[in-house]
């Protein structure tokens, strides 16, 4: 059974001006998402700045998220690492908190062969019982999980159920769908490719856009599932300019600035991420106004 269907938000981790995690604002963001119809919360992923959280912070954010969501929608925790033992540790701890699933990014920097990826993901997934999604984002990791490797893992490891595909390579994703034999749940990892991936049999998106437009992102998926492909396409295309603006600097710099524009968060980013350049902030603000989420 799939962990979720529709639009899951890759939620930001708000920080105070002193750099500490702001749990009060985090709770407000979660409630905003649930009220907006988001289908799942993905916590401590790329957008959640997991790479600069300490292990203790990382796990506390996951625990707190599960606590405040309180079973209303699924919570999926990012627990991947380029160190297999670290990924196992984070995954086992997150499972204790009651997460509904895990998101495991491919090993970065040290990379791996396809066999190495297989052994890594297998070892981590077999250390827990909750469902696992792989996360393929070669632009950040320098490592591409090939379709054959994804299918092999989903067939061989019972609780590996699918993949967040953020390669941007539609041909590769089509190949994955073609050979997946109904054993791979595919989620878009790019907000500008939600509809194309749904059309290939995808189940939804793990979304940055949802941070600022949860209802609209949900509806891109929902209309498609209801058979209103034209309506889904219209919403996808209407969001394109904002999607591009949200990635005009490295994620999550723009989406955090967008949430500041909306009065949802204040605070800061953690180094090495820096504040958005003003010309890009103006572009983002203009796109938000055009989209109707700012006056």
| Structural domains of the chain sorted by starting position, each given as residue range(s) with its CATH number in brackets | 6-226 (3.20.20.70)
Catalytic residue list contains 109? no
CA pair distance 239, 62, nearest whole angstrom: 29
* DSSP label of 181: T
CA pair distance 225, 204, nearest whole angstrom: 10
Catalytic residue list contains 135? yes
Select which of 28, 129, 135, 295 is catalytic.
135
SS (H, E, C) 70-136: CCCCCEEEECCCCCHHHHHHHHHHHHHHCCCEEEEECCCCCCCCHHHHHHHHHHHHCCCCCCEEEEE
- Number of C-beta neighbours around residue 227 at 10 A: 9
Give the global pTM.
Answer: 0.96
CA distances from 217 to 36, 81, 232, 259 (A): 10, 28, 10, 16
Select which of 164, 187, 256, 291 is catalytic.
164
CA pair distance 240, 243, nearest whole angstrom: 5
Contact 235, 217 (CB under 8 A): no
Per-run averaged pLDDT (10 residues), the chain, 295 residues? 94 95 98 98 97 97 98 98 98 98 96 97 98 97 97 98 97 97 96 98 98 98 98 98 98 97 93 96 98 93
In this predicted model, what pLDDT tens digit does every residue of 123-139 receive, in sequence order? 999 999 999 999 999 99
Q: What is the pLDDT of residue 181?
A: 84
Q: What is the pLDDT of residue 145?
A: 98
Q: What is the pLDDT of residue 155?
A: 97
* DSSP label of 277: P
């Amino acid at each position: 059974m799939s962990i979720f269907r529709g639009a899951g938000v890759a939620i930001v981790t708000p920080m105070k001006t002193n750099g500490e995690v702001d749990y009060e604002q985090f709770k407000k963001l979660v409630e905003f998402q649930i009220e907006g119809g988001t289908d799942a919360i993905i916590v401590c992923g790329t957008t959640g700045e997991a790479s600069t959280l300490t292990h203790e912070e990382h796990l506390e954010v996951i625990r707190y998220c599960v606590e405040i969501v309180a079973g209303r929608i699924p919570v999926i925790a990012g627990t991947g690492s380029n160190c297999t033992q670290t990924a196992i540790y984070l995954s086992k701890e997150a499972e204790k908190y009651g997460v509904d699933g895990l998101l495991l990014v491919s090993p970065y920097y040290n990379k791996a062969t396809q066999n190495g990826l297989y052994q890594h993901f297998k070892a981590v997934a077999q250390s827990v019982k909750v469902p696992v999604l792989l996360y393929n984002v070669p632009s950040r990791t320098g490592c591409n999980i090939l379709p054959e490797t994804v299918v092999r893992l989903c067939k061989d490891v019972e609780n590996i159920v699918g993949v967040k595909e953020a390669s941007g390579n539609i041909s590769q994703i089509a190949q994955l769908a073609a050979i997946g034999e109904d054993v791979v749940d595919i989620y878009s990892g790019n907000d500008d490719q939600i509809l194309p991936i749904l059309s290939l049999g995808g189940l939804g998106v793990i979304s940055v856009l949802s941070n600022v437009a949860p209802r609209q992102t949900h509806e891109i998926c929902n209309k498609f599932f209801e058979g209103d492909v034209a309506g889904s396409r219209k919403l996808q295309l209407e969001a394109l300019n904002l999607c591009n603006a949200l990635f005009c600097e490295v994620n999550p710099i723009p989406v955090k600035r967008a949430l500041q524009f909306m009065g949802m968060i204040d605070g800061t980013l953690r180094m090495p991420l820096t504040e958005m350049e003003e010309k890009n902030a103006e572009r983002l603000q203009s796109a938000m106004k055009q989209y109707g989420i700012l006056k």
